[in-house]
A and B are shown apart, each in its own frame.
Chain A
Amino acid sequence: MRFNFRPQNHWRFKRFRYRTEVLRCANCGTVNVTTRPVCRRCRSRNLQREELPERGRLVAFTTVKSPTEEHKELAPYIVGLVEFEDGTRIVTQITDADPEDLKTGMIVERVLRKITHDGDAGIIIYGFKFRPPIT
């Protein structure tokens, strides 16, 4: 809980959290989300940094009405499953939308948002969310 606000533990994941930078296995193509030495599928060490596309498809979504301590100021908020062209799926918050604005199968786009903050004095944690695209 309080430990979650150690800045270091967010800083070291910033490439994923700010830009959805992941590790794609050059051997088998699997996307590994958090950093690691070998591919989770084929154990190859040949992992290459890559940004996931800015747009994906919303496969399923729900509304979190019973939030965690760190995210209660935002509740109720939407959590969705987003799938990219290559089949990679991530679970993410969906922002700038009410449930009635969303449809399964719709395109959503990545944005940077505040994820949470440690009171008035502690750090602000930023990270990606997805939202209905602005065209």
Chain B
Amino acid sequence: MRSVHVVGVGYTRVGEHWGDSLTELMAEASLAAIEDAGVERVDGIYVASTFCEVTNNQAGISALVAEALGLRSVYGVRVEGGESSGLMALMEAYAAVASGLVDFALVVGGEKLSDLLPDEFNSVHSMTLPYDSMGYAGVTPASIAALLYKTYLERYEVPQEFVAQFPVLMHNNAEGVSHAQFPFKVKLEDVLGSPEVAPPLRRLECSAPCDGAAAVVLASDDSQTRRLSGQAVRIGGISIRTDYVSPFDREDPLFMTSVALSVDEALLRSGISRSELNVLEVHDSFSILAPLILESGGFSSRSESGPDVKSGKYSLGGELPINTFGGLKARGHPIGATALYQVAEVYLQLTGRAGKKQVDRTKAGAIISVSGFGTIAGTAVMLSGEMG
């Protein structure tokens, strides 16, 4: 297998893009990534959009993206894997580049959710749950998050602040980030004082509907593009795993086996250990998911992620900064695009382009993308030129 590198990234601001269609958003992010990579051609387009049939009445969207980019006749495919669609598209592109099938792959994710009314958004978001046994009955993702949240607080006998401080950290990191949906700080009391969505879960503990698109360009080792200039980041390894669709069918609903397995496997494939990671992106679609992912992924001991946040372990400047541009909560969660924002942001960190959010001496980073509550979870490990 050839080694595979991220050689350029592009993205739109996350937020309300009333004037832009889904295809336009994805084209903008793609053009930015292609320009950033400085590549002459793209041989394959991998599109991630989770809900484009429902939100934009569109199937076969990869051809629309290709046309919008002026790339007639290029190979194009769309990948859908719930909230992990972006990572899935990355893995498909990674495999194609590694195998030699494709030399330059464009991976672009996009979602357009601002047009939906709040209850319509909830209906669409509920599609990430098993519809036939849960969604039909009015069980929402927020209600599952709330049940896990309650289970967590009761089992570990910890106060709500342990979980509610995660959004505070995310907003801290997003402050001043130009592409973030919510680039401002919030206080713990703001989080705990925001309206209840599904108690104990509150509004400021949930990611919000938004529009956005993010793209990355992958190239093989042979192509050498930008590699010498230090602007190539090697994908050390990717792993995606599935699990029972209901967290309550698993041995322990607070432990996401899909996260644990994919982290272990992606690290193994990369040949590095957890402790070598300098930066990490976690899928905090709801506040409670951050501790569940950190604890399932072996970054904090069970019940210890709260104290770890308090001690600064996960802050910028800490031992393992997470979600350095605000994560799903504050940078935003345009579902199919989210994992590609994560990849782009780790790329910025590893290439020293993270500006005010730059973490010192970053050599290795990882993203963890989750759909639902661990129904699907994947990890991608990225290595800087130094480690690559």
Contacts and interface: CB of A to CB of B under 8 A. Distances in A.
Interface of A: 1, 4, 9-10, 13, 16-17, 33-34, 40, 59-72, 74, 77, 79-81, 89-93, 99, 104, 115-116, 125, 127, 129
Interface in B207-238: none
A90 to B, nearest CB: 7
A63 B198 contact: yes
A68 B136 CA distance: 10
A60 B150 contact: yes
Given A34-B132, A62-B150, A115-B137, 17 more contacts: A4-B123, A4-B136, A33-B133, A63-B199, A64-B140, A66-B119, A66-B122, A67-B119, A68-B119, A68-B138, A70-B123, A71-B138, A79-B139, A81-B147, A81-B248, A92-B137, A115-B136
B130 A34 contact: yes
Contacts of B197: 65-66
B190 interface: no
B312 to A, nearest CB: 31
A65 B248 contact: no
Contacts of A69: 117, 119-120, 122-123
Interface in B225-255: 244, 246, 248-249
Interface string B263-290: 0000000000000000000000000000
B123 A91 contact: no
A65 B198 contact: yes
Given A40-B244, A67-B122, A127 B140 contact: no
Interface of B: 54, 117-120, 122-124, 126, 130-140, 142-144, 146-147, 150-151, 154, 195-201, 244, 246, 248-249
7 contacts: A4-B123, A68-B135, A68-B138, A89-B248, A90-B133, A91-B144, A93-B138
Contacts of B201: 62
Contacts of B249: 33, 40, 89
Contact of B137 (A1, A34, A93, A104): A93
B132 A13 contact: yes
B119 A127 contact: no
A67 B140 contact: yes
A91 B143 CA distance: 10
B123 A65 contact: no
A91 B199 contact: no
A63 to B, nearest CB: 6
Nearest to B150: A60
B198 A64 contact: yes
A66 B117 contact: no
Contacts of B120: 1, 69
A74 B134 CA distance: 16
Of the candidates B138, B151, B154, B246, the one having the most CB atoms from chain A within 10 angstroms of its own CB is B138
A79 B143 contact: yes
